[in-house]
Amino acid sequence: MKKLTLAALLGLGLVSGQALAAGWTGGDDQQTNPLACDGTPAAAAAMPYDGGAPTNPPDRKGKKITVVDVPKLIGIGYFNATSKGIADAAAELGNVDAKTDGPTKANIDEQITFLDNYITSGVDGILFAANDPVAIAPVLKKALEKGINVVGYDANSTPDARQWFVNQAQFNGIAKALVDSMAAEIGEEGGFAIVTSTFTTPNQARWIAEMSAYAEKCHPKMKWLETVEAQEDNNLSFNQATTLINKYGDELKGIFGMTSVATPASAEAVTQANKCGNIAVVGLATPNAMKPYVEKGCVKSVVLWNPVDLGYAAMQVLRSVADGTLQPGATSVKAGKLGELQVINGSEILLGAPYVFNKDNIGQFDF
């Protein structure tokens, strides 16, 4: 009886697995916009400003403002780094009182509650990284209505719910960087798998969708094998990556790590399986976590923008918005030591090209 049930379940699983094996699992269903294979920048159509505006904000020009930063979650390396950037910028500016607070897990409801509380407590500015672009919109709009300046970074909301969004790198840009790196390491016909956080995490889902589109366009013979979920959990990521290695054997030439947790864990799995050099790990990660693998040569390159810079830029942008120096329609903004940053897509500010860490430069970073 028991065994029959089990067998039936497994059978069911098999069938559903095959049925769904057509596309890449883990991507979202929004429109993709793959870049050209040779890297020619896409002709960016100038878009009008599509961000929102605070209702009757007080004149904050040059005055001391309180700013709260509510990232997706607190307690992970990545948002520690952005938080550090924000604190750095605040210290440099001198007239900002900034702090970071947020939920302990990437939970839309809790994030909304945090934002709501800070709106009530009367902050002047909000920095956020959205767990869900739509879910967060109502509370951000409420902040705008209260005259609070709202700037996003890392993970966007719907544009009208915030003023500006500091985009660390465009989705298609990241996708191209990742897929190109992988192709360079494993060749045009290699098989690879993806370890992501969850299928519902917007950025990851977006990247995977863009990667799929770009790979189809520019590296059509590369073979996507599988996408697995691993939360933001080190050990689970490690286990999942190890299982992938065991399952596909030589068929698996590379693993994409889609989060700053999954990438080092995948590298660890490759290391512990003694497959360094046989299986490439390409992914998004922070340099500190990757140093051991990069220095040992197990991982050649890690793609990431500098999250400290991202936080720094977000804080600078918020200050400019509060001061009124950044107005809708601007094409660039001054961001302290980062210099002039470009405005794209109407109301987004581009941090720059993604940074590629390798054996030579990784030692210089500490975050």
Cβ count within 10 A of residue 112: 20
Residues in 158-187 that interact with another protein by CB under 8 A: none
Q: What stretch of H or E contains 141? A: helix 137-145
The least CB distance from residue 183 to another protein, in Å, is 24
| Interaction between residue 31 and another protein (CB under 8 A) | no
Helices (H) and strands (E) in the chain, counts: 10, 14
Contact 77, 288 (CB under 8 A): yes
26/85 with CB nearer another protein: 26
| Interaction between residue 310 and another protein (CB under 8 A) | no
| Interaction between residue 276 and another protein (CB under 8 A) | no
| Interaction between residue 325 and another protein (CB under 8 A) | no
| Interaction between residue 61 and another protein (CB under 8 A) | no
| Interaction between residue 137 and another protein (CB under 8 A) | yes
Q: Classify 175 as helix, strand or coil.
A: helix
Q: Which of 53, 74, 276, 330 binds another protein (CB under 8 A)?
A: 74
The least CB distance from residue 254 to another protein, in Å, is 17
Q: What is the DSSP secondary-structure string of 20-74?
A: TTTS-TT--SSPP-PPPTT-PPP------------SS----TTS-EEEEEE-S-S
| Interaction between residue 327 and another protein (CB under 8 A) | no
142/300 with CB nearer another protein: 142
Residues in 106-125 that interact with another protein by CB under 8 A: 107-109, 112-114, 116-118, 120-122
Give the Å distances, CA to CA, from 30 to 188, 215, 249: 26, 17, 33
The least CB distance from residue 114 to another protein, in Å, is 6
* 340 vs 331: CA distance, rounded Å: 10
| Interaction between residue 105 and another protein (CB under 8 A) | yes
Cβ count within 10 A of residue 28: 18
Question: Side chain identity at 79, as an amino acid letter?
Answer: F
Instruction: Count interface residues toward another protein (CB under 8 A).
Output: 86
| Interaction between residue 221 and another protein (CB under 8 A) | no
150/265 with CB nearer another protein: 265
229/309 with CB nearer another protein: 229
216/233 with CB nearer another protein: 233
The least CB distance from residue 231 to another protein, in Å, is 6
* 350 vs 344: CA distance, rounded Å: 7
Per the document, the length of the chain is: 367
